Amino acid sequence: MDQPLAPNAEMPRQRPQLPSWTLTVADAFDITPQMRRVLFSIDRFADFTYKPGQDIVFFLPLENGETGRRHYTIRNIDRDAGTIAVDFVMHGNTPGPNFARQAKAGDTVEVKGPRGRVVFNPEADWHLLTGDETCIPGILHILETLPPGARAFAFIEVQDAGWHQRVETRANVAIEWIHRGDVPAGPSSVMLDRLAAFALPEGRGQALIIGETSNVRAQRHHLIGRGLGREQIASEGYWRPGRHGGHDHVDD
């Protein structure tokens, strides 16, 4: 007979059951030269709850006629207009940018979510947020929704000033746009070098580290090396060269 599992026995990691939604394109437009916003209306809008920083999993058309999973962050929600904004980095001729390029009012797409643990922790004395272009939607949404008095430092790696956006926040926020210039997007020491020069403030901090997976892992290890506990760092790989969709856990 099978033995019952002990209460603390290791269980296989299972993909959580996320609610499904049908999104309908309401509008689409560029917000900066290589970032395109798609506004969606949603069925059962009143039931859609999330935390800033969370994303939804899109099922987007692939060249072979199937659909593929692609994660995109909720940039903001306008409850009066009944729309959700999602910002797509137009990095190439791939399913995500292709969807945003072709999106027109009335198109529908299936999604699941919201999901994600890279969210604001109200217990922390200060917040550090780092990421690249794909993280602009999440970082800016978190900054916009921080409570008054919260203290945050955001480092955003972009190619050049064409990616900058304005952010309005009631919190005490310092944003630094770090220009990568001719260095291609992806694995590099650009953010790690900046982080190494950042003097950690006093008090208990929380770090939200997102972006290209190897860069995220290098920053996480750097912060652990400087004394941050693993539980003080929420980190997730948003993309990496050669991977198609999905996300990487960076918990080590």
Ligand X SMILES: Cc1cc2nc3c(=O)[nH]c(=O)nc-3n(C[C@H](O)[C@H](O)[C@H](O)COP(=O)(O)OP(=O)(O)OC[C@H]3O[C@@H](n4cnc5c(N)ncnc54)[C@H](O)[C@@H]3O)c2cc1C
* Binding-site member from 137, 208, 209, 234 for ligand X (CB under 6 A): 137
Tell me which stretch binds ligand X (CB under 6 A): 16-24, 65-73, 76-84, 216-224: 65-73
Q: Is 16 in the site for ligand X (CB under 6 A)?
A: no
Q: Is 40 in the site for ligand X (CB under 6 A)?
A: no
Site residues for ligand X, window 92-111 (CB under 6 A)?
A: 92, 94-97
Q: Is 213 in the site for ligand X (CB under 6 A)?
A: no
Structure tokens at 154: 């955001």
Q: How far is CA 49 from the centre of its chain?
A: 17
Q: Is 117 in the site for ligand X (CB under 6 A)?
A: no
**What is the distance between the alpha carbons of residues 155 and 132, in angstroms, rounded to a whole number?**
9
Q: Is 241 in the site for ligand X (CB under 6 A)?
A: yes
CB closer to ligand X, 50 vs 72: 72
Of 89, 117, 93, 81, residue with least CA distance to 207: 117
**What is the distance between the alpha carbons of residues 67 and 179, in angstroms, rounded to a whole number?**
34
Residue 193 Cβ vs ligand X, minimum distance, rounded to whole Å: 20
Residue 242 Cβ vs ligand X, minimum distance, rounded to whole Å: 5
Residue 154 Cβ vs ligand X, minimum distance, rounded to whole Å: 15
* Binding-site member from 23, 42, 70, 128 for ligand X (CB under 6 A): 70
Strand partners, 173: 152
CB closer to ligand X, 86 vs 195: 86
* Binding-site member from 21, 50, 72, 155 for ligand X (CB under 6 A): 72
Q: Whole-angstrom distance between the N-terminal and C-terminal Cα of the chain?
A: 36
Q: Is 38 in the site for ligand X (CB under 6 A)?
A: no
x/- letters, 173..212, toward ligand X (CB under 6 A): ------------x---------------------------
Q: Is 131 in the site for ligand X (CB under 6 A)?
A: no
Q: Is 247 in the site for ligand X (CB under 6 A)?
A: yes
Tell me which stretch binds ligand X (CB under 6 A): 85-93, 119-127, 154-162, 171-179: 85-93
Amino acid at residue number 233: I
Of 91, 95, 76, 109, residue with least CA distance to 35: 91
Q: Contact residues for ligand X (CB under 6 A)? A: 55, 70-73, 87-89, 91-92, 94-97, 116, 134, 137, 185, 236, 238-239, 241-245, 247
